[in-house]
Amino acid sequence: MALQFDNHIPRYLFTKLIGRWHRPAFWGPLSCLRYRPVDIPSLPGEDWARIKVRLGGICGSDLNIITLGDSPTVVPFASFPFTLGHENVGTIDALGGDMDGWHVGQRVVVDPVLSCEPRGVQPLCEACQRGDISQCRHFTAGRLAPGFIIGTCRDTGGSWSPYFVAHRSQLIPVPDHVSDENAVLVEPFACALHPVLRHPPQPGETLLVIGCGVIGLMVIAAVRALGYDNRIVAVARYPFQEEAARTLGADVVTRARGVALYETLGEEFGARMHRPPIGKPILEGGADVVFECAGSDDALDDALRLAGHGAKVVVLGLAAIPKGVDWTPVWMKELSVLGSFLSGAEPGENGPVRTAQIAMNLLAEGKVDLSFMVTHRFRLHDYPRALETTLSRGKARLIKSVFDFTEESEGSGPAPARAGP
């Protein structure tokens, strides 16, 4: 069985309308989400492996697909029906003939990006040659159907099913002492490491992280795991998120909202708050680097207003088609607004190193422990409760939820939740 998403226009339109008032419509019988049997995938080539899933993470981008929040712009970069799920840890179940150095039963994480190499595109595009696989020019070409990542490509499957396939270039070995809970978070951790490594904070700069969901918490973890001692100020919504942010190394965490948020952060940054006749306040001064990790219209608007003059605003959240965002601060403060998509490969002494491998190395070296963030586990058949609980994270005190396929959790209902920090 697998959870698949099908781009069925009548279902899409019906669910888009009804889901505004009745959220379970997004995974109900008339939705685009289908729980159904699928064949065990075959290997696309001799340099591929089949992965037996142990844990499959439930990501905010997966929820955005299910609740129809994605921009239509991304539709050409997916192939339907696709099995959801790109956060993963599992074991190798089958190997092609050109897979020396790997063995059946080996525990691995799969970097989900489907760039030139997995697609068999030769020569590699310029982006892939320099390691920028998230900027690949061939996400719709080669031997695979369109898809940025596993979990959006019908040919690979995804981690919301017992099996999926991956190219050898995507495999990251999991050391024995690294837990499944840490391993399944390698992908989101890599997505947070990527912008920090590409835009490293300079000495004395103050960092602002807006949103303390998984990605915001991962940004805090990334900054500290990489050894930066910059002051980190974070904006959280719930008390348990505040606690997690402090555990991972944030210096200041506020749950203030509205005008109180601007007053609090203005004082924290030594900035002056101004209130126009209409609309939100704006700071004269502000943070040197802002990581927008919430993905909401308000969060993006706040990120621009709370940034200091000449600051960088790094957008990690799924902003899609934002409304009500005042772009005046971009020119008035001469801001640099930067996007960050998936992860890639970062410069190393011997050439580019996959960000996912760097993430695994930091976990293996004990530079950070993210396992406490896996707070909820569910069996795949319990997906309605899994999705409802994940979307009600405040009430559930949920940081990260996963689908658990391990034999030790066989049975009905969700596996026991882990304690928070």
Reading the chain (421 residues) residue by residue, the pLDDT tens digits are: 999 999 889 999 999 999 999 999 999 999 999 999 999 999 999 999 999 999 999 999 999 999 998 888 899 999 999 999 999 999 999 999 999 999 999 999 999 999 999 999 999 999 999 999 999 999 999 999 999 999 999 999 999 999 999 999 999 999 999 999 999 999 999 999 999 999 999 999 999 999 999 999 999 999 999 999 999 999 999 999 999 999 999 999 999 999 999 999 999 999 999 999 999 999 999 999 999 999 899 999 999 999 999 999 999 987 667 888 999 999 999 999 999 999 998 988 888 899 999 999 999 999 999 999 999 999 999 999 999 999 999 999 999 999 999 986 544 334 444 433 3
* Cα 210 from Cα 418, distance rounded (Å): 25
27 burial (CB, 10 Å; 0-12 / 13-18 / 19+) is: buried
* Cα 33 from Cα 8, distance rounded (Å): 10
Fold of 198-339: Rossmann fold (3.40.50)
Torsion sign, CA atoms 98, 102, 103, 105:
negative
The DSSP-derived string for 111-144 is --B--HHHHT-SSPPHHHHTT-GGG-S-TT-TTS
- H/E run at residue 363: helix 355-364
CA dist 106 to 41, 89, 116, 175, Å? Answer: 18, 11, 25, 10
* Cα 360 from Cα 109, distance rounded (Å): 9
User: Which residue from 64, 201, 49, 46 is spatially nearest to 111, judged by alpha carbons?
Assistant: 49
Q: Which CATH architecture has domain 2-185+370-409?
A: Alpha-Beta Complex (3.90)
Six token digits for residue 82:
């696709």
DSSP letter at 39 equals P
DSSP letter at 42 equals P
pTM across the whole model:
0.94
Q: How far is CA 307 from the centre of its chain?
A: 23
From-to residues of CATH 3.40.50.720 in the chain: 198-339
* Cα 33 from Cα 7, distance rounded (Å): 9
